[in-house]
Structure 1
Amino acid sequence: MAPSIDELSVSTIRGLSVDQVNAAQSGHPGAPLGLAPAAHAVWRRMKFNPQDPKWINRDRFVLSNGHACAMLYSLLYLYNYDLSIDDLKQFRQLNSKTPGHPERLDTPGVEVTTGPLGQGISNAVGIAIAQKQFAATYNKPDFPISDAKIFCFLGDGCLMEGVSSETSSLAGHLQLDNLIAFWDDNRISIDGDTACAFTENVPERYKAYGWHVLEVPDANTNIDAISAAVDEALEITGKPVLIRLVTTIGFGSKVAGTGGVHGAPLKADDLKQLKKSWGFDEESNFFVPSEVASYFAEKVEENKKVQAEWEKLFAAYKEKYPKEGAEVQRRLDGKFPDGWKDNLPTFTSKDKAVATRKLSEGVLDYLYGVLPELIGGSADLTGSNLTRPEASTDFQPPSTGLGDYFGRYLRYGVREHGMGAIMNGIDAFGAHYRNYGGTFLNFVSYAAGAVRLSALSHQGVIWVATHDSIGLGEDGPTHQPIETLALLRAMPNTSVWRPADGNEVSAAYVAAIEGVDHPSILALTRQGLPQLEHSSIEGALKGGYTVWPVEGKADIIIVSSGSEVSISVDAAKLLAEKKGLKTAVVSIPDFFTFDKQPIEYRLSLLPDGIPILSVEVLSTFGWSKYSHEQFGLNRFGASGKAGDLYKFFDFTPEGIAERAEKVVAFYKGKTVGSPLHSAFEETK
């Protein structure tokens, strides 16, 4: 009896997947062999257009267990995305479009970068939140311009990682019924049978989270049962859905059901017997039966018609609702509203001293009114981070009475890592969302995995990271960040702002909002800071500028950031008054932005012939590229009042002046080159 088109399609997906791994002699064939029927059942139901992979109302597919990416690439090829057979043959090779884990910048059709387990399902929660918010904001009666679903595959490893627990819990609370997750329950991880470490009752856990749970006990072969589960899931309201797929890792192979098939190519004889069992030529590679190619091509054409109907709907929407239509179109075009920066808060030295977290609150209040795409929240620290705009509404299920889905303020709960992964998902949805999340700077470390993926994926999320130093005071070393900025500054493609006053806070937000291709971390103070005499938004937007100039050649330059800039200015005044030393002060609120400036500009601030001292009440690591000597804090903090701590660690005008004087004396008569000089400057 000839196989059905569904069976033939599944065999083709399996064959392309194992051939990729075999060609590379590297990869993970086990999950694709077990998951191919589910992948086929889901993808044939999804709406998407390979020729327009960014269509805003497409259904989304997230592969959280990213090691199964050979299966994803097979699907993308079969559905006529911009991938060729040659691309599949280059699996895991340098500069290929088929890297070892899915990367959203490398492969058309890949929604998010996955690999670190638990991140993908957490991204999917973020995408679901964004879709709900977008739909609640813009849908009108008879005009459902946003009704997409989010499908996610995840494995045992994803369920073991804590970040998935954080985000799954929140998804249940938020009643995200546009999210359908598929658990590949194959009972194997790298260490072998999951019985060695993972024996909890996952379905009951997810029910406790508020999810609806379905099960398919024979997902290796029963495409009809999987499809029926998908049909049922699509009808569920008020809850996200988890579908348990009982599969066999490496299904059909000689090493099926073992850890050996997780991350190693199949042996040649195993490949041959598999292909024979599918009715394929044993010697064939990357084989696609003509009827399978035709089947997928027909699906693509059907989906093109679905998008065409949506385009007609959206055109009618714009005609009937011109204001909302213009706003949606602007967002889809990736443009900001005209004049959105015109009335940002600005300050002079006559204005009172204010904590930069409080200044941040004022900027967010302003931005909330001019950027409808701005959405954000806090990890249970709203009153400390000051992240909730006064006019905002909470994003909550309408049934709770706590808010509505059109709300733009998210209550993340004590879930820093989950918040970071969700923020990446919101960004991945599109529609020009500019989204932020608040926590203490020290606890961004909890979310380093998600931040790293933001940077790797070029996602413009924003962290409002308050309590940025020992200046937070009495909470002590557990809360006082010392090494955190060095960690974040070392991360490629990451902007880390530590503003010194109100103008620099406004600049930091402008840069962060416009920085759509990299994450931004805004490190903000709890304690009040004076408004600097020579600060400006324009200067700060260069990442570094002189905030205390001197006439003629300076004897020393102090370079600093954040709360230590004003103390450094006071030290410069003291040095001039007491020692006759001309001391310029340069503020570098963001290394990432400053490093992008022309070398001529940077050398104009940090020139040859002048010793430079850096001052920051955090780790000195990284400051050597801007200074000859560093004054910082290379130990953990202490519990006490902020003022007492600054005095104890000598971060006072007198303490800085004393060190600056010693630097001048040490370099007197010596040749001093700028620390900016590098043999590799032209290739940076």
Structure 2
Amino acid sequence: MEGVSNEACSLAGHWGLGKLIAFYDDNHISIDGDTEIAFTEDVLARFEALGWHTIWVKNGNTGYDEIRTAIKEAKAVKDKPTLIKVTTTIGYGSPNKANSYSVHGSALGAKEVDATRQNLGWPYEPFHLPEDVKRHWSRHIPQGAALEAEWNAKFAEYEKKYKEDAAVLKSIISGELPAGWADALPKYTPESPADATRNLSQQCLNALAKVLPGLLGGSADLASSNMTLLKMYGNFQKDTPEERNVRFGVREHGMGAICNGIALHSPGLIPYCATFFVFTDYMRAAMRISALSEAGVIYVMTHDSIGLGEDGPTHQPIEHLISFRAMPSILMLRPADGNETAGAYKVAVLNRKRPSVLALSRQKLQQLPGTSVEGVEKGGYIISDNSSGNKPDLILIGTGSELEIAAKAANELRKEGKAVRVVSLVCWELFDEQPDEYKESVLPASVTARVSIEAGVTLGWQKYVGEKGKAIGIDRFGASAPAGRIYKEFGITAENVIAAAKSL
């Protein structure tokens, strides 16, 4: 019934996933009552249209042989996934609650459990496992051991013939990263040309693809805009499963859910997926499951602010940064230039049990002095400082495209004799995990004159600027205009930072 599941089912049919067998429990009951009040479509016809093989088991309550036959048939279909519709009675065996919504979302209760036991002829005490049942299921233990031994023998032969390929497969199964893999990440200097971090992201992805055999992914129909194509690979399709560019189509939720499955399948598979940052609203449930399930998906989210320009407020993320900072067990990274983008990818690859969101710019940004991969790994760090003794007059804090603005403001204030420290707070979560001593070295408690600047809501920044500091941001929806003009209109400027600093 849920529309979001149709995204994944559509792709499964397109890819011809012959090993996929899905069971549909057709019991006609939902929490609100009989499904006829809201759901009357022909599910099998829909799945046939999606390219699935379909089977209907009409007696799902006691038709055990019919179910076995259906599974056997499904396994024989190699070129498409199979949906087995199993018509059942919800709460089967319960004399008073079977076939009713009351058994859908609540326990039967002690009296109805006893009545159900009598109705089904089940004489055993709760949690008692009869010996014949135990024997029946335990027969699979030697069968499984034999199958595992057979597979291990086959792999040993394979390893002798194809040593390098076997080593790659082992690394994907174990999750062990190749030695020195991070050295492949690009390096940048202040003399490197200015570029959008979405373009720098593509440079990092293509560099990593050469050294990480488990890296694969794609975009929700925006690859040429998200800049996520792996240039040395083709498209993953049913006839080209060895390729690594996954074409998800306009299916944001399905894309995130599929990447969760890839990440949880094998530790060495490192999936990434991409769309515009604002479209995380379509896939937030899948991203939350990433965090909850410890699935280390890399979310490449471009067009991360009002800086995307004329597309206007429908496409301009405002509240999205803080929404992911509020989500447990996920890293929200907003790099400012090439070195920080490389650092964000290093963090994301290393965090195999924690998803990472990379918010990337559409507009070009300068390569800043003082940024580093090592700094990103700490979440927050000093990129420039003309003070001494950990006693600056003022601390300016920025992320992403606004770190450049903070650096410009600092240069002007220094000309007036101010001791100014500029801090990149690229990832709040990582910074908060650092030892107190390190955090004090970056944001000393004695320095209360602080200004933050970020092209998003100011909510949350009080934690870092304090009661006496000021947070410059956008607490309203955006507007349609060129990036430069809209930044001025919304006060996301070095002049506004300087004015805020002088008011403290």
Q: Which TM-score tier does this pair reach, normalised by the shorter chain?
A: over 0.9
Tell me, yes or no, if structure 1 residue 650 matches structure 2 residue 491. Answer: yes
Tell me, yes or no, if structure 1 residue 594 matches structure 2 residue 436. Answer: no
User: Does the C-alpha gap of structure 1 residues 178 and 643 become closer, same or farther in structure 2, counting only changes over 3 Å?
Assistant: same
Deviations 1:443-496 (A, max 9, x none): 112111111111111110010000000000000000000000100011111101
SS in 2 for 1:341: helix
The CA deviation at 1:366 is 0.4
Alignment of 1:50-65 (within 5 A): none
| Aligned amino acid, residue 440 of structure 2 | L
Who is 1:508 aligned against? Answer: 344
Who is 1:227 aligned against? Answer: 68
Alignment of 1:576-655 (within 5 A): 576-577=414-415, 579-610=416-447, 611-628=449-466, 629-655=470-496
User: Does the C-alpha gap of structure 1 residues 542 and 581 become closer, same or farther in structure 2, counting only changes over 3 Å?
Assistant: same
The CA deviation at 1:338 is 1.3
1:248·1:257 contact (CA, 8 Å) conserved in 2? Answer: yes
Q: Which runs of 5+ in 2 are unaligned?
A: none
The CA deviation at 1:431 is 4.8
The CA deviation at 1:305 is 1.3
Who is 1:19 aligned against? Answer: none
SS in 2 for 1:621: coil
The CA deviation at 1:608 is 2.0
1:606·1:612 contact (CA, 8 Å) conserved in 2? Answer: no
| C-alpha separation in 2, matches of 1:534 and 1:269 | 70
The CA deviation at 1:273 is 3.2
Could you tell me the TM-score, scaled by structure 1's length?
0.72
Tell me, yes or no, if structure 1 residue 236 matches structure 2 residue 77. Answer: yes
Alignment of 1:247-286 (within 5 A): 247-254=88-95, 255-281=97-123, 284-286=125-127
Alignment of 1:171-210 (within 5 A): 171-210=12-51
| C-alpha separation in 2, matches of 1:414 and 1:343 | 32
Who is 1:8 aligned against? Answer: none
The CA deviation at 1:331 is 2.3
Who is 2:313 aligned against? Answer: 477
1:550·1:584 contact (CA, 8 Å) conserved in 2? Answer: yes
The CA deviation at 1:300 is 2.0
Deviations 1:34-61 (A, max 9, x none): xxxxxxxxxxxxxxxxxxxxxxxxxxxx
| C-alpha separation in 1, matches of 2:440 and 2:148 | 53
1:174·1:396 contact (CA, 8 Å) conserved in 2? Answer: yes
Who is 2:180 aligned against? Answer: 339
| C-alpha separation in 2, matches of 1:606 and 1:214 | 63
| C-alpha separation in 1, matches of 2:227 and 2:206 | 10
SS in 1 for 2:485: helix
Who is 1:661 aligned against? Answer: 502
| Aligned amino acid, residue 418 of structure 2 | L
User: Does the C-alpha gap of structure 1 residues 214 and 532 become closer, same or farther in structure 2, counting only changes over 3 Å?
Assistant: same
| C-alpha separation in 1, matches of 2:193 and 2:110 | 75
Deviations 1:605-631 (A, max 9, x none): 100221211110101111111112211
Tell me, yes or no, if structure 1 residue 427 matches structure 2 residue 227. Answer: no
SS in 2 for 1:438: strand
Who is 1:532 aligned against? Answer: 368
Who is 2:407 aligned against? Answer: 569
Who is 1:10 aligned against? Answer: none
The CA deviation at 1:272 is 2.5
Who is 1:558 aligned against? Answer: 396
User: Does the C-alpha gap of structure 1 residues 208 and 498 become closer, same or farther in structure 2, counting only changes over 3 Å?
Assistant: same
Who is 1:89 aligned against? Answer: none
Who is 1:9 aligned against? Answer: none
2:22·2:84 contact (CA, 8 Å) conserved in 1? Answer: yes
The CA deviation at 1:333 is 2.2
The CA deviation at 1:264 is 2.0
The CA deviation at 1:383 is 0.6
| Aligned amino acid, residue 233 of structure 1 | A
Deviations 1:385-429 (A, max 9, x none): 00001101111011xxxxx11111111111111111111011111
Among residues 261, 283, 302, which one is paired with 2:143 in the alignment?
Answer: 302
Who is 1:63 aligned against? Answer: none
Could you tell me the TM-score, scaled by structure 2's length?
0.97
| Aligned amino acid, residue 110 of structure 2 | A
| C-alpha separation in 2, matches of 1:565 and 1:265 | 55
SS in 1 for 2:216: strand
Tell me, yes or no, if structure 1 residue 290 matches structure 2 residue 131. Answer: yes
SS in 2 for 1:492: coil
| Aligned amino acid, residue 455 of structure 1 | A
SS in 1 for 2:25: strand
Who is 1:350 aligned against? Answer: 191
Who is 1:451 aligned against? Answer: 287
Deviations 1:182-236 (A, max 9, x none): 0000000100101111111111111111111110001110000000000000011
| Aligned amino acid, residue 522 of structure 1 | L
Deviations 1:164-189 (A, max 9, x none): 01111111111111100000000001
User: Does the C-alpha gap of structure 1 residues 222 and 555 become closer, same or farther in structure 2, counting only changes over 3 Å?
Assistant: same
Tell me, yes or no, if structure 1 residue 519 matches structure 2 residue 355. Answer: yes
| C-alpha separation in 2, matches of 1:178 and 1:383 | 31
SS in 1 for 2:422: strand
Deviations 1:494-525 (A, max 9, x none): 10110011000000000001110111000000
| C-alpha separation in 1, matches of 2:173 and 2:84 | 32
| C-alpha separation in 2, matches of 1:253 and 1:236 | 36
